Structure 1
Amino acid sequence: MTGHRTVRDLLNPVAAVALIAQTHPDLPAPVIEVAPIIRDRKDLGTGIRLQMHWPEDGIYERWANLVGSDDPDSHTSRLRTGAGNVVRRTFGTYGCVPIEVIAYLPDIPAATAATVS
Protein backbone atom coordinates (compact mmCIF):
# COMPACT_ATOMS: atom_id res chain seq x y z
CA MET A 1 0.00 0.00 0.00
CA THR A 2 2.90 2.38 0.54
CA GLY A 3 3.71 2.75 -3.16
CA HIS A 4 0.34 3.28 -4.86
CA ARG A 5 -1.88 5.43 -2.69
CA THR A 6 -4.98 6.97 -4.24
CA VAL A 7 -7.02 9.97 -3.16
CA ARG A 8 -9.68 7.53 -1.94
CA ASP A 9 -7.11 6.11 0.52
CA LEU A 10 -6.99 9.54 2.17
CA LEU A 11 -10.68 9.65 3.07
CA ASN A 12 -10.56 7.83 6.42
CA PRO A 13 -7.42 9.60 7.73
CA VAL A 14 -8.76 13.02 6.74
CA ALA A 15 -12.14 12.22 8.30
CA ALA A 16 -10.39 11.10 11.51
CA VAL A 17 -8.48 14.40 11.72
CA ALA A 18 -11.73 16.32 11.16
CA LEU A 19 -13.47 14.36 13.91
CA ILE A 20 -10.58 14.89 16.33
CA ALA A 21 -10.67 18.62 15.57
CA GLN A 22 -14.40 18.72 16.20
CA THR A 23 -14.39 16.69 19.43
CA HIS A 24 -11.12 18.07 20.88
CA PRO A 25 -10.88 21.64 19.50
CA ASP A 26 -8.55 22.88 22.25
CA LEU A 27 -5.97 20.09 21.95
CA PRO A 28 -2.70 21.60 20.66
CA ALA A 29 -2.19 20.62 17.04
CA PRO A 30 1.01 18.83 16.12
CA VAL A 31 2.33 18.46 12.58
CA ILE A 32 -0.21 16.17 10.94
CA GLU A 33 0.79 13.99 8.02
CA VAL A 34 -1.23 11.41 6.10
CA ALA A 35 1.28 8.64 5.59
CA PRO A 36 1.84 4.89 5.48
CA ILE A 37 2.06 3.74 9.10
CA ILE A 38 4.65 1.04 9.74
CA ARG A 39 4.82 -0.60 13.17
CA ASP A 40 7.40 -3.28 13.91
CA ARG A 41 7.98 -3.74 10.16
CA LYS A 42 4.26 -4.30 9.54
CA ASP A 43 2.43 -1.98 7.14
CA LEU A 44 -0.75 -0.90 8.93
CA GLY A 45 -2.00 1.03 5.91
CA THR A 46 -2.55 4.71 5.25
CA GLY A 47 -2.99 6.59 8.49
CA ILE A 48 -1.99 9.68 10.41
CA ARG A 49 1.47 10.55 11.71
CA LEU A 50 1.44 13.20 14.44
CA GLN A 51 4.76 14.91 15.13
CA MET A 52 5.40 17.28 18.03
CA HIS A 53 8.59 19.24 18.53
CA TRP A 54 9.25 20.03 22.19
CA PRO A 55 5.59 19.88 23.23
CA GLU A 56 4.49 21.30 26.56
CA ASP A 57 4.27 18.85 29.47
CA GLY A 58 1.39 16.41 29.11
CA ILE A 59 0.53 17.15 25.45
CA TYR A 60 2.19 14.01 24.06
CA GLU A 61 0.46 11.91 26.71
CA ARG A 62 -2.93 13.44 25.85
CA TRP A 63 -2.46 12.52 22.18
CA ALA A 64 -1.25 9.01 23.08
CA ASN A 65 -4.30 8.54 25.29
CA LEU A 66 -6.63 9.88 22.57
CA VAL A 67 -5.44 7.25 20.09
CA GLY A 68 -5.84 4.46 22.64
CA SER A 69 -2.19 3.71 23.37
CA ASP A 70 -1.83 1.74 26.62
CA ASP A 71 1.90 2.52 26.64
CA PRO A 72 2.92 6.01 25.49
CA ASP A 73 6.53 4.85 25.32
CA SER A 74 6.03 1.55 23.51
CA HIS A 75 8.55 2.60 20.84
CA THR A 76 10.55 5.28 22.69
CA SER A 77 14.33 5.18 22.41
CA ARG A 78 17.14 6.84 24.35
CA LEU A 79 19.09 7.27 21.11
CA ARG A 80 19.35 10.89 20.02
CA THR A 81 18.54 12.31 16.61
CA GLY A 82 21.07 14.31 14.61
CA ALA A 83 19.57 17.43 16.19
CA GLY A 84 20.21 16.01 19.66
CA ASN A 85 16.61 15.19 20.53
CA VAL A 86 15.21 12.00 21.98
CA VAL A 87 12.12 10.56 20.33
CA ARG A 88 9.03 9.36 22.18
CA ARG A 89 6.87 7.22 19.92
CA THR A 90 3.72 5.15 20.23
CA PHE A 91 0.94 3.80 18.03
CA GLY A 92 -2.82 3.59 18.27
CA THR A 93 -5.96 4.07 16.23
CA TYR A 94 -8.80 6.52 15.96
CA GLY A 95 -11.81 4.76 14.59
CA CYS A 96 -10.23 2.35 12.15
CA VAL A 97 -7.36 4.69 11.22
CA PRO A 98 -3.83 3.75 12.33
CA ILE A 99 -2.01 6.59 14.07
CA GLU A 100 1.64 7.09 14.97
CA VAL A 101 2.35 9.70 17.67
CA ILE A 102 5.89 11.12 17.82
CA ALA A 103 7.40 13.73 20.15
CA TYR A 104 10.89 15.15 19.74
CA LEU A 105 12.21 16.28 23.13
CA PRO A 106 15.49 17.61 24.52
CA ASP A 107 15.43 14.72 27.01
CA ILE A 108 13.17 11.89 28.17
CA PRO A 109 11.01 13.00 31.12
CA ALA A 110 12.30 11.62 34.44
CA ALA A 111 9.10 9.66 35.08
CA THR A 112 9.54 7.92 31.71
CA ALA A 113 13.30 7.35 31.80
CA ALA A 114 13.14 4.33 34.11
CA THR A 115 10.87 2.42 31.73
CA VAL A 116 12.74 3.14 28.47
CA SER A 117 15.62 0.94 27.40
Structure 2
Amino acid sequence: MSEHQHDHDHSDHDHGDDGPSDDLVRRAGHIILDGVTAADVDNEDAMELAFGRLLEIDAIEVTMDEDEGELELDISPLMSGVLLVVTELVNEIAERDGSSPEDVLARIRTRIDG
Protein backbone atom coordinates (compact mmCIF):
# COMPACT_ATOMS: atom_id res chain seq x y z
CA MET A 1 0.00 0.00 0.00
CA SER A 2 1.42 3.39 -0.99
CA GLU A 3 1.84 6.30 1.37
CA HIS A 4 -1.30 7.96 -0.02
CA GLN A 5 -3.53 4.88 -0.03
CA HIS A 6 -5.43 4.43 3.16
CA ASP A 7 -7.42 1.32 3.96
CA HIS A 8 -11.13 1.68 4.51
CA ASP A 9 -12.93 0.00 7.38
CA HIS A 10 -16.34 1.15 8.52
CA SER A 11 -15.78 -0.30 11.98
CA ASP A 12 -13.69 2.69 13.03
CA HIS A 13 -16.23 5.31 11.98
CA ASP A 14 -17.62 6.26 15.34
CA HIS A 15 -19.82 9.29 14.79
CA GLY A 16 -21.13 9.35 18.34
CA ASP A 17 -21.51 12.38 20.56
CA ASP A 18 -17.75 12.81 20.67
CA GLY A 19 -17.54 13.35 16.89
CA PRO A 20 -15.62 11.37 14.30
CA SER A 21 -12.98 8.87 15.34
CA ASP A 22 -9.34 9.90 15.45
CA ASP A 23 -8.55 7.44 12.67
CA LEU A 24 -11.23 8.91 10.38
CA VAL A 25 -9.92 12.42 11.04
CA ARG A 26 -6.37 11.24 10.30
CA ARG A 27 -7.50 9.64 7.03
CA ALA A 28 -9.38 12.79 6.00
CA GLY A 29 -6.26 14.84 6.75
CA HIS A 30 -4.19 12.64 4.47
CA ILE A 31 -6.75 13.00 1.68
CA ILE A 32 -6.68 16.79 2.05
CA LEU A 33 -2.89 16.66 1.64
CA ASP A 34 -3.32 14.36 -1.39
CA GLY A 35 -5.63 16.99 -2.90
CA VAL A 36 -3.04 19.71 -2.30
CA THR A 37 -0.42 17.55 -4.02
CA ALA A 38 -2.75 17.01 -7.00
CA ALA A 39 -3.50 20.76 -7.18
CA ASP A 40 0.24 21.53 -7.18
CA VAL A 41 0.69 19.57 -10.39
CA ASP A 42 -2.56 21.03 -11.82
CA ASN A 43 -4.11 17.61 -12.35
CA GLU A 44 -7.89 17.86 -12.00
CA ASP A 45 -8.39 14.10 -12.39
CA ALA A 46 -5.99 13.37 -9.53
CA MET A 47 -7.60 16.05 -7.37
CA GLU A 48 -11.09 14.70 -8.09
CA LEU A 49 -9.89 11.19 -7.26
CA ALA A 50 -8.28 12.35 -4.01
CA PHE A 51 -11.31 14.30 -2.85
CA GLY A 52 -13.66 11.55 -4.05
CA ARG A 53 -12.05 9.32 -1.45
CA LEU A 54 -13.60 11.53 1.23
CA LEU A 55 -16.93 9.92 0.35
CA GLU A 56 -15.38 6.45 0.40
CA ILE A 57 -14.13 6.80 3.97
CA ASP A 58 -17.34 8.52 5.12
CA ALA A 59 -15.62 11.84 5.84
CA ILE A 60 -18.60 13.25 3.94
CA GLU A 61 -21.90 11.51 4.48
CA VAL A 62 -25.01 12.20 2.45
CA THR A 63 -28.22 10.68 3.76
CA MET A 64 -31.89 11.08 2.93
CA ASP A 65 -34.29 12.12 5.66
CA GLU A 66 -37.32 10.13 4.52
CA ASP A 67 -39.71 11.99 6.84
CA GLU A 68 -38.70 15.45 5.61
CA GLY A 69 -37.79 14.39 2.07
CA GLU A 70 -34.49 16.25 2.36
CA LEU A 71 -30.87 15.33 1.84
CA GLU A 72 -28.68 15.69 4.91
CA LEU A 73 -24.98 16.38 4.63
CA ASP A 74 -22.52 15.64 7.44
CA ILE A 75 -19.06 17.09 6.82
CA SER A 76 -17.84 17.07 10.42
CA PRO A 77 -15.18 14.39 9.75
CA LEU A 78 -13.94 16.39 6.75
CA MET A 79 -13.80 19.61 8.75
CA SER A 80 -11.97 17.84 11.58
CA GLY A 81 -9.41 16.59 9.03
CA VAL A 82 -8.98 20.09 7.61
CA LEU A 83 -8.55 21.48 11.14
CA LEU A 84 -5.91 18.83 11.85
CA VAL A 85 -3.92 19.76 8.73
CA VAL A 86 -4.20 23.52 9.26
CA THR A 87 -3.22 23.25 12.92
CA GLU A 88 -0.14 21.20 12.05
CA LEU A 89 0.88 23.70 9.35
CA VAL A 90 0.37 26.72 11.64
CA ASN A 91 2.43 25.06 14.37
CA GLU A 92 5.16 24.17 11.85
CA ILE A 93 5.36 27.76 10.59
CA ALA A 94 5.41 29.15 14.13
CA GLU A 95 8.22 26.80 15.13
CA ARG A 96 10.20 27.57 11.97
CA ASP A 97 9.80 31.34 12.40
CA GLY A 98 10.32 31.34 16.15
CA SER A 99 6.90 32.91 16.65
CA SER A 100 3.63 31.82 18.18
CA PRO A 101 0.69 30.13 16.46
CA GLU A 102 -1.33 33.26 17.28
CA ASP A 103 1.18 35.42 15.36
CA VAL A 104 1.00 33.07 12.38
CA LEU A 105 -2.80 33.17 12.41
CA ALA A 106 -2.75 36.98 12.61
CA ARG A 107 -0.44 37.14 9.55
CA ILE A 108 -2.70 34.76 7.65
CA ARG A 109 -5.78 36.80 8.55
CA THR A 110 -4.03 39.94 7.29
CA ARG A 111 -3.19 38.22 3.99
CA ILE A 112 -6.75 36.95 3.58
CA ASP A 113 -8.11 40.46 4.16
CA GLY A 114 -5.45 42.02 1.89
Higher-Rg member (1/2): 2
TM-score w.r.t. the length of structure 1 is 0.23
TM-score w.r.t. the length of structure 2 is 0.24
More strand by share: 1
